[in-house]
């Protein structure tokens, strides 16, 4: 036991709770965590259930997008084939890429995180179970409708990265592009929700003693993954907003003759798109880092260096976005920066590859199916990584740009780097949630078919590309030297499909959902997810003293299951998990968790209705759907700030923790700060867009100061913003004195602050819009007007959200649910409020100050 | 839960851990943006003169390298001075120094093309 696991002033005993345990303790714990059954399964929020639903849904999308690939391969098997026409082919490659990236790859790794992380960290659940459920349902509904567009001949057809001008209103007149922009934009929001959940879960719900140096590599990988989503996804969300604004209202962000620039889309898209590759790869690498030591029966070599590699990849991969734009005429020195960053990022990847090889070399390998897939991954991913360094070399990149060489490279990286580890993970972790493990015999067939099929399909594509075949052509002429290569690729694709079919059969035959009676630790792994579990996760929350606790703490499983560690029952009668400190994992407080409920599903349905009905221009029903979603979210939020409703509880060994905390120590504060980082990145991407458009089109920027709104306007707007922040801060100060038991004036001052702040915030926006309109700027006239009004529109979104949040906080105050102790709701509203004011002030400085600084 | 100086030291260590990636991002964005502007505005006689590109990039790189070297030195010293001798704090100091070293390598490496490659091409 490490001394650092104990809260200051308290000592941890090795086994905090004595035997025998009280008779009804386990029964009460089971009752609190009893999963819903029958059709009420739809109300489940527990991570195990949501995790399984999530993985299964993502796998179905994998199968569906795989079928699209097979259709394309049939079409390309022979020259001048007429199996598919050009229009359908365009929809198929667009949907294949989009579905694989957005509906399979990111969701499936997030899903596995939701499934595994709580058990691996020794938690009972993630800190925001309903958020995971909401993210899942939003993804399921949105993804299904999006995929359905294919059956109505109405799917997007502009390629998975949707470059304008092809995808703007002039050249893509149907609704296909709108499905992509609104459907995918909405699913990205679900990915962000999951990422915030994962960040807070990893940093705050680890078992006591699991300080950062003992955090399993998979959790490190998921932490970096979630951090990357927070920083990368806002750029593409902004891009989709801008393109949809251009399509729907003709605001010219990407139209060159009105001062826009199609390359702005590519910058924003690839600022997300390149990190996206690593967003997909890092969780897979994390899985490999857990599977390899188990298969080699020895601890991972160079644990610390792998953490460095994950963190290094996390930020260096953001310096690669122009990697995808080498053929767009960007200055050669700029290209070199990105080429150099592309080579630099291979260092951390290489560290991991060498560490895995060294671990295999230093252990006694059990060559089960997971090990086979990991070995396959190493071979395929290294080839993909090396061709990646080749395409990072600018002149070579120009040669192979938009050819099948790129198709080969990206599949080696993505299929090799992510799908092989995923199959390893399916075989490895099935015994964790299934009564039976998957078949080793069939597993070898699955591996053989997929590995041979993959290389047969994609190795020749390098040559097809070097021989000049461009990607995305629906057919080609005979005799160009591409015929046999394409036939080989088609045969390979069907071999992969055969492997996936055998795997699906294996799952149908052997996979039987079970928690308590799961097959368990058949691999003799060392991490906590293999502890005996129930619906409540672990019976008692262990004290961790090493990186492979099950290897190094011999009686851990028995003692955990006997209830000898922390919190062997439910202390408050509800679902709960232990919150610990971020670095040292010291027990800090007990978080009460919600049980099953309809609100996440209904809120997700409402959100989906809003975005999807908007796509087909049914504005009023869309608004009704959006309103319904807000009501559902408020319903779920209403019970989520319980206040100190229970005395501090003894979790064992004399350690007493509170059941409610507020401020920077609370999980909700951490989630809100993560959300502010997302918001900051979104705003930063818009500021980048403003400056980028000015760089390429200075002629549409007003150079005459008299053309700009007169100076009093921005000052009035800024003063209103600042005053609204002051009003909220005033309310916050008053709240410190607002006792729960006395309905004194402090409560009225809190309400006064809230009531005053809302119109001030809205008025600031109104003044800004009036000032721009008065000065004669129109959003559809030029890229300048478009970006200026978009800055205001973004602020408008915050005004709307804050008015809802302010009203909600006010309602809680009226109902007596807000006081000096029970103040998490107010604090979160206040954090977002100050952020929105700061963002509004910066936007005013940019819009009114920057053009003046030019003149 | 920690005493005040302990909490301060922990906060400072967390900030130091995040500093190197921030330096990398700032440096990368600065050299990219300056080069792009210099090429877009060449011949217009503004601030973003082509001749100033090497000076700007060189200066930004030296500044970044200096901050990174200090970060590495401070992290190593903090690691040596840390008397709590828990695995976690040693690890955090090590990780801070290692990330800063990786960033230093990346910053220098990404600047090297300046020597060979023409600015606007």
- The DSSP letter of residue A534 is B
For the segment A532-550, what is each residue's pLDDT rounded down to a tens digit?
999 999 999 999 999 999 9
Give backbone dihedrals phi and psi of A128, rounded to 5 degrees, phi first.
Answer: -130, 70
CB < 8 Å to A336, chain B: 113, 117
B56 touches chain A (CB under 8 A): no
Across the interface, of B1, B2, B106, the residue whose CB is closest to A341 is B106
Can you give the pLDDT at residue A10? 56
Mean pLDDT, residues B39-45 taken together? 79
Can you give the pLDDT at residue A715? 98
Confidence bin at A232 (pLDDT 50/70/90): very high
CB < 8 Å to B48, chain A: none
DSSP codes of every residue in A95-117: HHHHIIIIIIIHHHHHHHHHHHH
The count of other CB atoms within 10 Å of the CB of residue A8 is 10
Contacts of A283 (CB under 8 A, 6+ apart): A109, A112, A113, A218, A221, A222, A225
Can you give the pLDDT at residue B9? 65
* Rounded Cα distance, A595 and A585, in Å: 25
Contact A563, A17 (CB under 8 A): yes
Quote the crossing angle between the two packed helices A106-121 and A217-249, to the nearest 10°: 150
Across the interface, of A344, A583, A695, the residue whose CB is closest to B88 is A583
In B2-105, beta strands by DSSP E: none
Residue A748: pLDDT over 70: yes
Whole-number mean pLDDT of chain A?
A: 94
CB contact under 8 A, B99 and A212: no
For the segment B59-107, what is each residue's pLDDT rounded down to a tens digit?
999 999 999 999 999 999 988 887 766 788 889 999 999 999 999 999 9
How many residues are there in chain A? 855
For the segment A504-513, what is each residue's pLDDT rounded down to a tens digit?
999 999 999 9
* H/E run at residue A587: strand A587-593
Burial (CB count within 10 angstroms: exposed 0-12, middle 13-18, buried 19+), residue A758: buried
Mean pLDDT, residues A193-204 taken together? 96
Can you give the pLDDT at residue A314? 93
Confidence bin at B14 (pLDDT 50/70/90): confident
Residue A633: pLDDT over 60: yes
**Dihedral sign for Cα atoms in the order A708, A709, A713, A717:** negative
Under an 8 Å CB criterion, which residues of A touch B? 2-4, 7-8, 211-214, 304-305, 307-308, 311-312, 314-316, 318-319, 330-337, 339-341, 343-344, 347-348, 581, 583-584, 586, 588, 665, 691, 695-696
Chain A interface, best mutation among B32, B51, B115, by max A CB count within 10 A: B32
Q: Which residue in A778, A776, A775, A798 sits closest to A787, CA to CA?
A: A778
Contacts of B56 (CB under 8 A, 6+ apart): B30, B31, B34
* Rounded Cα distance, A161 and A163, in Å: 6
CB < 8 Å to A661, chain B: none
Q: What is the dihedral of CA A688, A689, A695, A697, to 10 degrees?
A: -170
Residue B8: pLDDT over 90: no
Instruction: Flag the least confident range among A151-155, A425-429, A770-774, A798-802.
Output: A151-155
Can you give the pLDDT at residue A7? 58
Number of cross-chain residue pairs from A and B with Cβ atoms under 8 Å apart: 118
Give backbone dihedrals phi and psi of A637, rounded to 5 degrees, phi first.
Answer: -70, -30
Across the interface, of B36, B92, B106, the residue whose CB is closest to A331 is B36
* Rounded Cα distance, A418 and A381, in Å: 9
Q: Which residue is closest to B3 within chain A, CA to CA?
A: A8
Contact A554, A104 (CB under 8 A): no
Mean pLDDT, residues A340-347 taken together? 87
pTM score of the predicted model: 0.95
* Rounded Cα distance, A452 and A116, in Å: 30
Confidence bin at B41 (pLDDT 50/70/90): confident
Across the interface, of B2, B3, B87, the residue whose CB is closest to A211 is B87
* H/E run at residue A656: strand A655-657
Query: Euclidean distance between the first and final Cα of chain A, in Å?
Result: 67
Q: Which residue in A173, A175, A278 sits closest to A222, CA to CA?
A: A278
Say if residue A165 is preceded by a cis peptide, omega within 30 of 0. Answer: yes
Residue A791: pLDDT over 90: yes
* Rounded Cα distance, A753 and A739, in Å: 17
Residue A721: pLDDT over 90: yes
Q: Which residue is closest to B106 within chain A, CA to CA?
A: A344
Can you give the pLDDT at residue B7? 63
B106 touches chain A (CB under 8 A): yes
Whole-number percent of chain B with pLDDT over 90: 52
Can you give the pLDDT at residue A653? 87
3-state secondary structure of A588: strand
Can you give the pLDDT at residue A2? 40
* Rounded Cα distance, A787 and A784, in Å: 5
CA contacts within 13 A on the Cβ side of A200: 28
CB contact under 8 A, B121 and A332: yes
CB < 8 Å to B102, chain A: 308, 312, 316, 347-348
Across the interface, of B37, B94, B118, the residue whose CB is closest to A332 is B118
* Rounded Cα distance, A133 and A600, in Å: 6
Mean pLDDT, residues A327-331 taken together? 87
Q: Which residue is closest to A580 within chain B, CA to CA?
A: B1
Mean pLDDT, residues A222-234 taken together? 96
Can you give the pLDDT at residue A320? 87
Residue B5: pLDDT over 60: no
For the segment A94-105, what is each residue's pLDDT rounded down to a tens digit?
999 999 999 999
For the segment A236-276, what is each residue's pLDDT rounded down to a tens digit?
999 999 999 999 999 999 999 999 999 999 999 999 999 99
* Rounded Cα distance, B59 and A823, in Å: 48
For the segment A666-691, what is each residue's pLDDT rounded down to a tens digit?
999 999 999 999 999 999 999 999 99
Confidence bin at B13 (pLDDT 50/70/90): confident
CB < 8 Å to A312, chain B: 99, 102
Across the interface, of A7, A305, A340, the residue whose CB is closest to B113 is A340
For the segment A658-667, what is each residue's pLDDT rounded down to a tens digit?
999 999 999 9
């Amino acid at each position: 036991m490490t001394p650092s696991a104990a809260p200051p002033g308290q000592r941890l005993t090795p086994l905090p709770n004595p035997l025998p345990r009280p008779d009804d303790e386990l029964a009460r714990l089971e009752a609190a965590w009893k999963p819903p059954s029958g059709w009420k399964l739809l109300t489940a929020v527990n991570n195990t259930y949501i995790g399984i639903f999530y993985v299964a849904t993502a796998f179905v999308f994998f199968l569906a997008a795989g079928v699209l690939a097979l259709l394309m391969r049939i079409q390309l098997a022979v020259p001048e084939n007429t199996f598919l026409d050009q229009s359908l082919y365009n929809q198929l490659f667009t949907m294949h890429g989009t579905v694989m990236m957005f509906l399979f790859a990111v969701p499936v790794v997030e899903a596995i995180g939701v499934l595994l992380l709580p058990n691996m960290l020794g938690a009972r659940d993630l800190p925001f179970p309903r958020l995971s459920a909401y993210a899942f349902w939003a993804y399921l509904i949105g993804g299904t409708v999006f995929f359905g567009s294919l059956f109505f001949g109405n799917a997007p057809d502009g390629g998975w990265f949707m470059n304008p001008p092809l995808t703007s209103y002039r050249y893509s007149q149907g609704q296909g592009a709108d499905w992509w922009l609104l459907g995918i934009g909405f699913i990205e929001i679900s990915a962000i929700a999951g990422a915030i959940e994962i960040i807070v879960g990893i940093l705050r719900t680890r078992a006591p003693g699991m300080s950062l140096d003992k955090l399993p590599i998979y959790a490190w990988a998921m932490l970096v993954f979630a951090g990357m989503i927070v920083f990368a996804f806002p750029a593409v969300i902004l891009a989709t907003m801008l393109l949809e604004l251009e399509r729907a209202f003709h605001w010219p962000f990407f139209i060159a003759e009105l001062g826009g620039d199609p390359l702005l889309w590519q910058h924003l898209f690839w600022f997300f798109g390149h990190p996206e590759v690593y967003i997909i790869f890092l969780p897979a690498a994390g899985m490999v880092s857990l599977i390899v030591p188990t298969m080699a029966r020895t601890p991972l070599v160079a644990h610390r260096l792998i953490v460095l590699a994950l963190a290094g990849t996390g930020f260096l991969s953001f310096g690669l976005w122009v990697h995808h734009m080498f053929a767009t005429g960007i200055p050669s020195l700029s290209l070199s920066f990105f080429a150099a960053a592309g080579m630099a990022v291979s260092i951390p990847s290489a560290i991991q590859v060498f560490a895995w090889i060294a671990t295999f070399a230093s252990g006694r390998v059990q060559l089960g199916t997971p090990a086979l897939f990991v070995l396959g991954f190493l071979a395929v991913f290294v080839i993909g990584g090396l061709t990646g360094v080749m395409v990072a070399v600018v002149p070579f990149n120009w040669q192979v740009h938009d050819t099948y060489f790129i198709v080969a490279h990206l599949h080696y990286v993505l299929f090799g780097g992510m799908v092989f580890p995923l199959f390893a993970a399916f075989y490895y972790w099935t015994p964790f949630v299934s009564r039976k493990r998957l078949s080793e015999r069939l597993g070898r067939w699955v591996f053989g078919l997929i590995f041979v099929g993959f290389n047969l399909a994609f190795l020749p594509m390098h040559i097809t590309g070097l021989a000049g075949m461009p990607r995305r052509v629906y057919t080609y002429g005979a005799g160009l030297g591409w015929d046999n290569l394409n036939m080989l690729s088609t045969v390979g694709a069907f071999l992969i499909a055969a492997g996936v079919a055998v795997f699906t059969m294996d799952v149908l035959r052997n996979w039987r959902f079970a928690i308590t009676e799961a097959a368990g630790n058949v691999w003799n792994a060392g991490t906590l997810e293999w502890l005996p579990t129930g619906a409540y996760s672990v019976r008692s929350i262990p004290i961790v003293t090493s990186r492979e606790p099950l290897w190094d703490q011999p009686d851990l499983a028995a003692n955990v299951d006997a209830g000898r560690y922390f919190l062997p029952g439910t202390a408050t009668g509800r679902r709960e998990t232990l919150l610990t400190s971020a670095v040292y994992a010291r027990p800090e407080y007990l978080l009460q968790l919600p049980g099953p409920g309809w609100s996440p599903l209904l809120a997700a349905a409402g959100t989906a209705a809003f975005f999807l009905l908007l796509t087909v221009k049914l504005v009023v029903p869309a608004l009704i759907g959006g309103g319904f979603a807000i009501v559902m979210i408020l319903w779920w939020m209403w019970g989520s700030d319980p206040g100190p409703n229970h005395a501090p509880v003894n979790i064992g060994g004399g350690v007493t923790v509170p059941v409610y905390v507020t401020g920077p120590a609370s999980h909700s504060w951490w989630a809100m700060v993560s959300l502010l980082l997302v918001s900051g990145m979104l705003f930063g991407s818009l500021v980048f867009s403003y400056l980028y458009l000015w760089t390429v089109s200075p002629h549409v920027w007003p150079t005459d100061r008299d053309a700009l709104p007169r100076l009093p306007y921005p000052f009035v707007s800024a003063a209103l913003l600042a005053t609204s922040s002051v009003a909220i801060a005033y309310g916050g100060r008053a709240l410190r004195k607002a006792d729960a038991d006395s309905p004194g004036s402090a409560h009225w001052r809190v309400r006064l602050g809230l009531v005053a702040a809302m119109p001030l915030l809205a008025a600031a926006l109104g003044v800004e819009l009036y000032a721009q309109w008065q000065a004669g700027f129109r959003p559809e006239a030029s890229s300048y007007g478009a970006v200026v009004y978009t800055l205001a529109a973004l602020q408008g979104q915050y005004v709307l959200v804050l008015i809802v949040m302010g009203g909600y906080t006010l309602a809680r105050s009226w109902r007596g649910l807000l006081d000096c102790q029970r103040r998490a709701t107010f604090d979160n509203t206040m954090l977002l409020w100050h952020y929105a004011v700061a963002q509004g002030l910066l936007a005013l400085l940019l819009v009114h100050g920057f053009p003046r600084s030019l003149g | 839960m920690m005493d005040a100086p302990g909490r301060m030291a922990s906060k400072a260590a967390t900030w130091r851990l995040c500093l190197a990636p921030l330096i990398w991002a700032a440096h990368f964005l600065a050299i990219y943006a300056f080069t792009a502007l210099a090429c877009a505005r060449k011949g217009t006689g503004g601030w973003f003169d082509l001749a100033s590109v090497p000076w700007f990039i060189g200066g930004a790189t030296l500044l970044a390298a200096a901050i990174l070297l200090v970060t590495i030195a401070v992290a190593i010293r903090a690691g040596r001075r840390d008397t709590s001798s828990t695995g976690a704090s040693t690890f955090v100091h090590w990780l801070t120094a290692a990330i800063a070293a990786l960033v230093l390598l990346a910053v220098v490496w990404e600047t090297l093309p300046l020597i060979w490659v023409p600015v606007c091409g």
